[in-house]
Chains A and B, each alone.
Chain A
């Protein structure tokens, strides 16, 4: 019960503080809340867009949540998803004639592999060289951005466009759209995301390797005494996490844009941190939290037009406040103590 109560309270606290900010800007919090709800769930199209934004957030949320179990903090989902999307687009552009059922499988594997490589590097550095994965993943985000920019502008540039984007992928790669949601670019990638959430749960709780990961995250010394190869477990956790983040590229490239566009991600990798924390590392919680943040992202996108002073930047403020409230350890122990006394 407490596992559910704390996230709900944290979201309520974050929302309340965030709406207080809108009151400062002279907009009625109630009106802002109505716009958010309308814009996120008001029509099938809006709902489709909410799910469209939730899809990458499930992947990045899992990419942060899985290593958390192994005691590792993956700040690198942004770089991992960038390279995953780039790899999917590169495969699709370089081998355009691959036929349908094979083509998306190929692209999915490429996206996973590229992201996994970008997770393996900080995993290896942590396990073998002892250097902190937080710093390394931050640095690798910038390296990935530079590499993606180079490949997009110099190697795979779309000659017919002024935009910084790659050539289009072959027709066999395109994922079908879910037609219930009007023009929303929601594709079958959503089902891949749900499948990934299930597989992460199964990995963590039903496999030996998953048990080893959790053991290393729980008590490293005890895990080592029990004969668990903690280095291997760490590297595996980061590699899988990178691969999961890389799969963001499937929805974006095969389901939406049909190519890699530089800067397509509005910091999905960082929002994934909020998703994983709010979910307290649980796979099912990641799906729920991704829906919430997807709705927030869609909801705030209409604020620019609908209100005088409040902009879509409110979504960043809300995310930050939710993260702060969910992570304030001292706040929750203080509340618990008060209830006990």
Chain B
């Protein structure tokens, strides 16, 4: 009995931990997409955030400086993304893919320059890592984001930039400025998500350490119908699947056959496809998502 209880506790704890980077990244995607900008660059934004956070924490010995570094790096890459899709009107899918490639190439490149190895940064000491602060921060941000989008005037601007940019424009608010700010803030949030990978869940940056979490966050965002609280719940669900999958790896449940964890791994992506297709529930994207705004 106590063994099972311990296992449930352990699983709940690791669910909370592994869903934290997803929460940050899903909020990042939510902010951009509710403002009308598709963000499939979450993966790349997280990756630069993870490296910058590890580097800043190594330099200063403080996890908070690390988090700030991660957020700043995410915002810098997001600025490049905003420049290409808002100012230069690049296709958002294309530019997002390019951002992911750029981050996947630049991070090992910079890691090699700084630390002599393209594989990983040196390990952080315990004091330079986070305890449980990112979990609280992430959930606090979920509530803030929900309240802000729902009750504040600037939150309304963001929603209008995604749903009805023409109306926002006639009200005298610059659609593209709102979108710029949303993408930058999203970049900082995704950078925090990356930071929580390198200085919270592990103790260093390593090559391609996001391993698809940016896309999983995107899936959670869609599964959560582009709304903060349901998206957070989706992150928790996908985080649980991830924690369960890690727990069951190599465990034999029946006979000597190990559990095929691959079926748990693909579950988040499968349910996202089903939800998006309206086969289970219904999820609708913001109306002006992906359309560049240009005054006639």
Q: What residues make up the interface of A, taking CB atoms closer than 8 Å to B?
A: 21, 24-25, 73, 75, 125, 129-132, 134-136, 138-140, 142-143, 146-147, 149-150, 153-154, 270, 273-274, 277, 309-311, 313-321, 323-324, 327-331
> Is the CB–CB distance between A327 and B94 below 8 Å?
yes
> Is the CB–CB distance between A125 and B97 below 8 Å?
no
> Is the CB–CB distance between A314 and B105 below 8 Å?
yes
> Is the CB–CB distance between B108 and A270 below 8 Å?
no
9-residue interface stretch from B49-57, B141-149, B198-206, B272-280: B272-280
> Is the CB–CB distance between B262 and A150 below 8 Å?
yes
Contact A143 to B101, CB < 8 A, known contacts A150-B262, A311-B118, A328-B84:
no
Number of interface residues of B (CB under 8 A): 44
> Is the CB–CB distance between B101 and A319 below 8 Å?
yes
Cβ of B93: which chain A residues have Cβ within 8 Å of it? 73, 75, 134
Where chain A touches its partner, the secondary structure class is: helix
- Give the distance in Å from the alpha carbon of A90 to the alpha carbon of B90 in the complex: 41
Q: At the interface, yes or no: B266 with Cβ under 8 Å from chain A?
A: yes
A309 to chain B, nearest CB (A): 6
> Is the CB–CB distance between B108 and A313 below 8 Å?
yes
Q: At the interface, yes or no: B130 with Cβ under 8 Å from chain A?
A: no
> Is the CB–CB distance between A323 and B94 below 8 Å?
yes
Centre residue among B88, B101, B215, B260 by max chain A CB count within 10 A: B101
- Give the distance in Å from the alpha carbon of A142 to the alpha carbon of B214 in the complex: 12
> Is the CB–CB distance between A316 and B104 below 8 Å?
yes
Contact A323 to B98, CB < 8 A, known contacts A311-B109, A328-B88:
yes
Contact A143 to B270, CB < 8 A, known contacts A135-B276, A309-B113, A329-B90:
yes
Cβ of B252: which chain A residues have Cβ within 8 Å of it? none
Cβ of A277: which chain B residues have Cβ within 8 Å of it? 94
Contact A320 to B98, CB < 8 A, known contacts A138-B40, A146-B262, A311-B109:
yes
B83 to chain A, nearest CB (A): 9
Q: At the interface, yes or no: B212 with Cβ under 8 Å from chain A?
A: yes
> Is the CB–CB distance between B270 and A270 below 8 Å?
no
Cβ of B104: which chain A residues have Cβ within 8 Å of it? 313, 316
A277 to chain B, nearest CB (A): 6
Per-residue A-contact encoding for B208-226, CB less than 8 Å = 1, 0 else:
0000100100110010000
Where chain B touches its partner, the secondary structure class is: helix
Cβ of B97: which chain A residues have Cβ within 8 Å of it? 75, 270, 273, 323
Cβ of B279: which chain A residues have Cβ within 8 Å of it? 129
Chain B, Cβ-Cβ closest to A150: B262
> Is the CB–CB distance between B260 and A21 below 8 Å?
no
- Give the distance in Å from the alpha carbon of A274 to the alpha carbon of B97 in the complex: 9
- Give the distance in Å from the alpha carbon of A64 to the alpha carbon of B222 in the complex: 24
Counting from the closest, the 8 A-B pairs by CB-CB distance are: A316-B105, A146-B266, A320-B102, A330-B88, A317-B105, A320-B101, A139-B269, A323-B98
Residues from 265 to 294 in B contacting A, C-beta threshold 8 Å: 265-266, 269-270, 272-273, 276-279, 285
B84 to chain A, nearest CB (A): 6
Chain A, Cβ-Cβ closest to B275: A131
Q: At the interface, yes or no: B89 with Cβ under 8 Å from chain A?
A: yes
Cβ of B218: which chain A residues have Cβ within 8 Å of it? 135, 138
Known: A131-B278, A139-B272. 8 other contacts (CB 8 A): A135-B222, A138-B218, A319-B98, A320-B98, A320-B102, A321-B102, A323-B95, A324-B102
A15 to chain B, nearest CB (A): 14
Cβ of B247: which chain A residues have Cβ within 8 Å of it? none
- Give the distance in Å from the alpha carbon of A311 to the alpha carbon of B107 in the complex: 11
> Is the CB–CB distance between B277 and A330 below 8 Å?
no
Contact A324 to B269, CB < 8 A, known contacts A142-B212, A150-B262, A317-B109:
no
> Is the CB–CB distance between B262 and A134 below 8 Å?
no
Q: At the interface, yes or no: B99 with Cβ under 8 Å from chain A?
A: yes
Chain B, Cβ-Cβ closest to A310: B109
Could you show 8 A-B contacts with beta carbons less than 8 Å apart? A21-B109, A131-B276, A134-B38, A147-B262, A277-B94, A317-B102, A320-B101, A328-B88
> Is the CB–CB distance between A324 and B276 below 8 Å?
no
